[in-house]
Amino acid sequence: MKEIIIATKNAGKAREFKSFFSAYHINAISLSELDEELGDIEETGTTFRENAAIKAETIAGMMKQPVLADDSGLMIDALNGRPGVFSARYAGQPKDDQANIDKVLQELKGIEAPEERTARFVCVLAVAIPGEPTIFVEGTCEGTIAFSQAGENGFGYDPVFTPDSYNKTMAQLSPSEKNDISHRKNAIVQLKDWLVNRMN
Ligand code: IMP
């Protein structure tokens, strides 16, 4: 089985990538599974693309092999696109998913019409290969912010995100239902040709 390093220590993301890549018979290895202590990479970019590139290129430079990085987040229209690139630590340090959810629900208080609570998850993937230009793809998943949280699956903002055409939150979907419609899936399918040509 072929391997690709996934530049994340986020257990939720790692689980989803492992599931996607297994369909291509590729073993996705997250940073937490590597023996090397790579330390934390500062995400100093102002866009998903810049941050994905920083993560993928830094680790590929260290490991001398192909690395895929994901930078993702939630963009809420009524908040002018926030939390956006600041999604992970929107309520401050240290990263706290529940505090982030509380902050978003608080900020949307008083906005009653679902059509004014539109939002999307965005995922930019960067694949860095030593000596080659970095490849980028982007996927989105459209939905609305629920009035209260529900569900235990997934991670991050899933309990308050209702995907379009569903009447339950992303956290109430099974892992495979989420993986069928997610921003990460919509990005990764665009890498299919690259995966087939380069990894097999
Ligand atoms: P990153 O590690 O800087 O890309 O931060 C991504 C953050 O965006 C996560 O910590 C979550 O708060 C949020 N996020 C990204 N993808 C998802 C998802 O699939 N569900 C829920 N929240 C997500």
Could you tell me the CA-to-CA distances from 183 to 74, 102, 163, 188 in Å, in that order? 10, 22, 11, 9
Picking from 18-22, 113-117, 122-126, 142-146, which range would have the lowest pLDDT averaged per residue?
18-22
User: pLDDT at position 164, please?
Assistant: 98
* Whether pLDDT at 199 is above 80: no
Residue with more model confidence, 19 or 195: 19
Which domains does the chain possess? Answer: 3-199 (3.90.950.10)
Instruction: Quote the CA–CA distance of 144 and 162 in Å, as a whole number.
Output: 5
Mutation choice for ligand 1 from 10, 30, 72, 182, CB with most ligand atoms inside 8 A: 72
Report which ligand 1 atom has the smallest distance to the Cα of 51. 3
Mapped to the 3 state alphabet, what secondary structure does 79-92 carry? HCCCEHHHHHHCCC
Instruction: Quote the CA–CA distance of 195 and 192 in Å, as a whole number.
Output: 5
Instruction: Quote the CA–CA distance of 58 and 194 in Å, as a whole number.
Output: 21
Between the CA of 195 and the centroid of ligand 1 the distance, in Å, is 24
Between the CA of 85 and the centroid of ligand 1 the distance, in Å, is 9
The secondary structure of 10-49 as a DSSP string is: -HHHHHHHHHHHHTTTEEEEEGGGSSS---PPP---SSHH
| % residues pLDDT > 70 (the chain) | 98
User: pLDDT at position 23, please?
Assistant: 87
Residues belonging to the active site: 71
pLDDT digits (tens, 9 = 90+) for 115-139: 999 999 999 999 999 999 999 999 9
Report which ligand 1 atom has the smallest distance to the Cα of 154. 20
| pLDDT category of residue 1 using cuts at 50, 70 and 90 | low
* Whether pLDDT at 200 is above 70: no
Lateral strand order in the sheet of 161-163? 26-30, 2-6, 67-76, 118-128, 135-145, 161-163
* Whether pLDDT at 36 is above 80: no
Q: Which residue reads 């979907």 in tokens?
A: 173
Between the CA of 129 and the centroid of ligand 1 the distance, in Å, is 24
Mean of pLDDT values over 24-37: 85
| pLDDT category of residue 179 using cuts at 50, 70 and 90 | very high
Mean of pLDDT values over 45-55: 96
Mean of pLDDT values over 37-43: 76
Could you tell me the CA-to-CA distances from 32 to 40, 41, 149, 192, 200 in Å, in that order? 11, 13, 29, 25, 25
Mean of pLDDT values over 58-79: 94
Any atom of ligand 1 within 6 Å of the Cβ of 139 = no
Any atom of ligand 1 within 6 Å of the Cβ of 149 = no
Instruction: Quote the CA–CA distance of 128 and 167 in Å, as a whole number.
Output: 38
